Amino acid sequence: MAGTNSEHAGERREEQPARRRPSIRAVAAVAGVSPTTVSHALSGTRPVRAETRERVVRAAAMLGYTPDRVASGLRRRRTGVIGLASDRIATTPFAGRIVQGAQEVARERDMVLMVVDSEGDAGLEDVQLRTLLDHRVDGILFARMSHQEVERPAALGDTPAALVDGVPAGGWRVPAVAPDESGIAATAVARLVAAGHRRIAMVTTMDAGPASRGREAGFQAALQAAGLESSRAPIERGGSDASGGRAAGRRLLDRTPEERPTAVFCFNDQMAMGVFQAASDLGLDVPRDCSVVGVDDLEIVAAALEPGLTTIALPHREMGRWGMATLLDRIDGSTTDEPEPVLLACPLVERGSVAPPPFAG
């Protein structure tokens, strides 16, 4: 009998109709206004008196009413969804900051973010892009996890887009934001010059790209501006990891005290870690014998070194915010394509790897 009663109870539960979604008309009835006023009060598309809006909001909360995004999107021919297409979210520690910045702006403007990661596979990215477009996203935010030149994807069509941490190539006109690579080097050199260094070297990557070109050009320009001789500022290249930095650092530092640089500016924090290791192998102390400055503010490296690494932080979160805000403005028709990529300043993060040189000269 108990089993039978249980089965009957289950049947009764199944027969209960699903709770209907509260309608805008129900909210209007409770608030004592028209459905049009409810729509304006909740969407902000038209001005509504403060006391009326408060009454509508209370009524909507009491009924558990939320606007039907699908119906609203059909009326406006919008879905309220933005696609973010990245090449390295899963393997790059900075990717989350770009997504965080983009998500903050999307949330502020009542948009939803749909994220895909191609892992650097151009063919996969093309498939993912077509999938996003099949979902009728309102726009695409392309995020590159290192400053790259990016050509316009063939599948994009006339969908609004913006580019984060990259520069458009091949004639693609699109709003873009990237770090000020030349400014990064200028900030590093200025910090070392202020500490008294006159023999400053650079360890950079063998990989060609806007980041390496910009930082090297900025390094040379900053030396010239400081009145330093380029002949006393050697540049060594290597793989853009600790191993590459270690080999390049050894070539720079394995010299007599009169010949070796007293400071090294490194392409990234991982190469800087390699320079720390090379200095240690040679019996040199950082920063007593050689000051070191990195780029990235990769905390798992920069904060873990002893002493902590003074470095230049890249504005990933700020780039994500700029990219999303600019894309949404473009979708709304309130902005046009930027003629040139916007370059964001990169702040110096002081730790303990810079000190005055061991001797003048």
Cα 128 to Cα 57, 93, 109, 165, 354, distances in angstroms:
39, 22, 24, 20, 45
Cα 28 to Cα 22, 138, 322, distances in angstroms:
11, 30, 38
Q: Which residues pair with 148 in a beta bridge?
A: 166
Residue 88: exposure state from Cβ atoms within 10 A (0-12, 13-18, ≥19): middle
CATH of domain 76-178+316-344: 3.40.50.2300
**Contact of 273 with 210, CB cutoff 8 Å:** no
Q: Which of 20-24, 71-75, 124-128, 245-249 has the lowest mean pLDDT?
A: 71-75
The string of DSSP codes covering 7-73 is HHHHHHHHHSPPPPPPPHHHHHHHHTS-HHHHHHHHH-SS---HHHHHHHHHHHHHHT----HHHHH
Q: Which of 4-18, 134-148, 204-218, 319-333 has the lowest mean pLDDT?
A: 4-18
Give the single-character DSSP code of 247. Answer: H
Greatest extent of the chain over all pairs of C-alpha atoms, in Å: 99
Greatest mean pLDDT among 9-23, 101-115, 131-145, 312-326: 312-326
Greatest mean pLDDT among 23-27, 34-38, 243-247, 357-361: 243-247
Fold of the domain spanning 181-314: Rossmann fold (3.40.50)
Residue where the block lists tokens 């990064």: 184
Distance between CA 1 and CA 14 in Å, rounded? 20
As a whole number, the mean pLDDT across the chain is 87
Query: Does the pLDDT at position 21 exceed 80?
Result: no
Same fold, 15-67 and 76-178+316-344: no
Cα 316 to Cα 94, 164, 183, 213, distances in angstroms:
7, 9, 16, 20
Helix (H) or strand (E) holding 84: strand 81-86
The string of DSSP codes covering 201-217 is EEEEES--SHHHHHHHH
The string of DSSP codes covering 308-333 is PPEEEE--HHHHHHHHHHHHHHHHHT
Q: Which of 15-24, 141-150, 213-222 has the lowest mean pLDDT?
A: 15-24
Query: Does the pLDDT at position 16 exceed 50?
Result: no
Mean pLDDT computed over 108-134: 88
What pLDDT band is residue 278 in, cutting at 50, 70 and 90? Answer: very high
Distance between CA 223 and CA 261 in Å, rounded? 14
The CATH number of domain 15-67 is 1.10.260.40: yes
pLDDT of residue 44: 62
Q: What is the dihedral of CA 204, 209, 211, 212, to 10 degrees?
A: 20
In this structure, which amino acid lies at residue 313? Answer: A
Distance between CA 53 and CA 41 in Å, rounded? 5
Distance between CA 60 and CA 94 in Å, rounded? 40
Return the number of other C-beta atoms located less than 10 Å from residue 19's C-beta.
7
The string of DSSP codes covering 93-161 is TTHHHHHHHHHHHHHHTT-EEEEEE-TT-HHHHHHHHHHHHHTT-SEEEEEEEEEEEEEPPGGGTT--E
Q: Is the pLDDT higher at 213 or at 96?
A: 213
Q: Is the overall model pTM greater than 0.75, yes or no?
A: yes
Mean pLDDT computed over 150-166: 91
In this structure, which amino acid lies at residue 351? Answer: R
Cα 152 to Cα 119, 160, 171, 346, distances in angstroms:
18, 12, 8, 27
Residue where the block lists tokens 């990237």: 178
pLDDT of residue 9: 46
Contacts of 101 (CB under 8 A, 6+ apart): 316, 317, 318, 319, 320, 321, 322, 323, 324
Domain regions of the chain by residue span: 15-67, 76-178+316-344, 181-314
**Contact of 168 with 174, CB cutoff 8 Å:** yes
Query: Does the pLDDT at position 218 exceed 90?
Result: yes
Distance between CA 185 and CA 265 in Å, rounded? 8
